[in-house]
Amino acid sequence: VTLVVAALLLAGCADSVPRHTDRAASPPVPCLSQADDGLFATCLRTELDDVWGREFHTTGRNYASPQLTVGEDTGSGTGRVQELTRDRAYYSPRTGIHVPTRYLDDVRAAHGSRAHIVLSFTLSHETGHQVQHLLHPRIDAPGVDVETQADCYAGVWARQEANARELDAGQFRTGAEAELRRLSADPEEVRSHGGVDQRIAALDKGLRTGDPAACDVGGLSWR
């Protein structure tokens, strides 16, 4: 197991070495270069599927991409659930990832030109919940463990993207931290998702290692 991980890490390092100078000169942010929100989301989704598809494959499993919907919450949940979630992106095993319009507006208002890098973090966190669901469909884990592990998985994805020169890791971390600080101004968010320092530490663990196994917490294990 260790050897496989080491080989993957080395492969990642090799990939991060620019092979052509023209490639090195271009900004490593293909999804961010999409001005249109729809194209950006499609691009990002492909990148998320590629990384997790590969990670699942190396451990003999199949990854299934979650549904992604954007827009008003026409929702299936109760009124109370909608009330709690309408200004946050969220994941449900049945309906996948939903990004409410109001959340997009909030992100744009708070982060301006950094909105897309912030959304890269948001969608990679929500995709982390899909990973958890596929690995442990019936586990009952503490909410904060589930959320901080999703932050760690977001970091894992970003590290692999950075190694493939598809993302700037520093830019990603700055955007993620800014969004975590914004969300953590809400005490309810802190109660359900963990404190901001705890979440940034989890993100950094994934970002540093690029290894999903480094995100293990309690019964929420990669293998």
- Per CB under 5 A, residues contacting Zn ion are 147, 150
Give the DSSP per-residue string, 1-38: -HHHHHHHHHHHHHHHS-SSHHHHHS-S-TTTT--SHH
CB 150 → Zn ion: shortest distance, Å? 5
Spatial contact of 40 and 31, defined as CB atoms under 8 Å apart: yes
Closer to Zn ion by CB, 55 or 147: give it: 147
Residue entry with tokens 């989890």: 202
Instruction: Please name the amino acid found at residue 103.
Output: Y
Which CB sits closer to Zn ion, 122 or 163? 122
The distance of closest approach from Cβ of residue 165 to Zn ion in the complex, given in angstroms and rounded to an integer, is 28
What is the C-alpha to C-alpha distance for residues 160 and 94, in angstroms, rounded to an integer?
28
Q: Which is nearer to Zn ion, 36 or 140 (CB)?
A: 140
Question: Which is closer to Zn ion, CB of 123 or CB of 150?
Answer: 150
What does the block give as tokens for 185? 């101004």
| CA–CA dist 150, 85 (Å, integer) | 17
By C-beta, is 73 or 147 nearer to Zn ion?
147
Residue 125 beta carbon to Zn ion: minimum distance, rounded to whole angstroms? 6
Instruction: Give the nearest distance from C-beta 159 to Zn ion in angstroms.
Output: 19
Q: Which is nearer to Zn ion, 7 or 197 (CB)?
A: 197
Listing DSSP states for 135-185 in one string gives H-TT----HHHHHHHHHHHHHHHHHHHHHTTSS-HHHHHHHHHHHHHHHTT
Q: Give least dist CB 205 to Zn ion, A.
A: 16
CB of 23 to Zn ion, least distance (A): 34
Beta bridge partners of 217: 220
